[in-house]
Structure 1
């Protein structure tokens, strides 16, 4: 008997324990590649519990209320690693949400986003282990919910989701990674810097997946990608993208020359 991948992704999304969520994602991936799960059930599905499932801690506060700590202290480094782990935990949830929520997409779409969920779970596991090595753990510091708020805003349209989550918010991670790595190296945390190398490598692929499906939907709907992106940013009040941009990573992630020029204000 085969099980529906999208139904199981929804179940994993509602799970609140981070370790068990990661284990379920890995099991889903293995089940998909070995043919245990099918990608069907384009019928409407209703969550049986609140989404996303998350542990009681960290407490969620507005972004401006997340305390910043000096990087030269152990607590400061732990706070930074915690912030990164929180982003990766939310990224697991957003990838699972992309799998279950949007019906009628090609099979490759669901495979792509389950792969993203698997890699985000790996990133979270690496960061959490490093956080524990620093004498802390996930939940020890406050976090914010900006990434998931955009996931909720774009739940009615896969085009908006692809435009404003992977291609906008996640792509900011490509820009932020090099200076963050430099700070960690300067602070002597080479283990964390190595984890950032892994995350950047994989995130280029995740943003590329967002680009792939954004352009696919634009083509299906006969929409111009640049003007549509601009319109969606206004409609959903997406955060304005500001330099510096990691142009090399963005090129590797599939942004066109016209899209890169747009970032620099050269497209009207």
Structure 2
């Protein structure tokens, strides 16, 4: 079997369960080195995300708002929103492995391993959604992460900057905020299960951002670029980002590879 064709097959699949099975098979075959790499395989572009076949796509502002989390509807909306992030992350990891050629084997292994983790995260959330009578696709979704993948499709350095080091790292800041909100509600089995799931996701997302940081710095070194190019790329893709400074999960970001110099430039008051 050829790696890029198998990765494309998983990337195209819209059914979450089938996609998960394909990623598991791909991960197992890659670990056992059963796949050959043909770097000249044509690279396809995608105009629509794989989930377009099963979910209604709307503008980000039109996605159902997350309000109360102590009733089944509020929990369903929250879980669906997070599950959509995890589904999108599966595809972004697969695309990062599929789209960029002539990288070291460890690069491809890292991103298939990330996709494998994201499948597990999605399945954890899917099980919680089932408890409140929700399935993925029941609520409208936006394409923000897919759009970020399209924007960074031409350059692996831009992809490592935009996706793991910017967007996923932002999740390290957002996740604890959601956990704190949930902890303000009376404890129920559903809320406790959601909190535990979010904690698992947070811990493992640190590793994913670290992998992105690893390949970002590898590419900077290979191109003789200073790591401060990160800020240049982000400003080009997201103008004015440095003026939007909020709370940073400094501990998680440090574990994921960010330097104190970078974090202070992002607005961190303390960093050791």
Aligning the two structures, in what range does the TM-score lie when normalised by the shorter sequence?
over 0.9
**Residue 183 of structure 1, CA deviation:** 2.0
Contact 2:247 2:268 in 1 (8 A): no
2:231 alignment partner in structure 1: 230
Q: CA deviation at 1:196?
A: 0.5
Quote the Cα distance in structure 2 between the aligned partners of 1:109 and 1:139.
31
TM-score (ref. length: structure 2): 0.91
Which residue of structure 2 aligns with residue 64 of structure 1?
Answer: 61
TM-aligned CA distance change 1:238 to 1:171, over 3 Å: farther
* Pairs aligned (count): 262
Q: Identify the residue that residue 197 of structure 1 maps to in structure 2.
A: 199
Name 1:250's counterpart in structure 2: 253
Q: How far does the alpha carbon of each residue in 1:17-72 deviate from its partner, in whole angstroms, 9 at most, with x for none?
A: 1110011001111111122123x211142439866422533211111111213223
Distance 1:209 1:4 in 2: 24
Relative to 1, partners in 2 of residues 1:213 and 1:239: Cα closer, same or farther, differing over 3 Å?
farther
**2:56 and 2:140 in contact (8 A); partners too:** yes
**Counterpart in the other structure of 1:175:** 173
Q: Distance in 1 between the 2:117 and 2:48 partners?
A: 20
Alignment of 1:2-17 (within 5 A): 3-17=1-15
Which aligned pairs between 1:1-268 and structure 2 lie closer than 5 A? 3-38=1-36, 40-47=37-44, 52-54=49-51, 56-68=53-65, 69-187=67-185, 188=187, 189-226=191-228, 228-237=229-238, 240=241, 242-264=245-267
Asked whether the 8 Å contact 1:14–1:50 carries over to 2, the reply is no
Q: CA deviation at 1:140?
A: 1.2
**Distance in 2 between residues matched to 1:186 and 1:55, nearest whole Å:** 35
Which secondary structure state, in structure 2, belongs to the residue aligned with residue 37 of structure 1?
Answer: coil
Over aligned residues, Cα RMSD in angstroms?
A: 1.8
Runs (5+) with no aligned partner, structure 2: none
Distance 1:265 1:176, change over 3 A: closer
- 1:174, CA displacement in angstroms? 0.3
Alpha-carbon distance between aligned partners in 2 of 1:158 and 1:67, rounded to the nearest angstrom: 33
Query: Larger deviation: 66-75 or 135-144?
Result: 66-75
Q: Structure 1 residues 144, 194: closer, same or farther in 2, change over 3 A?
A: same
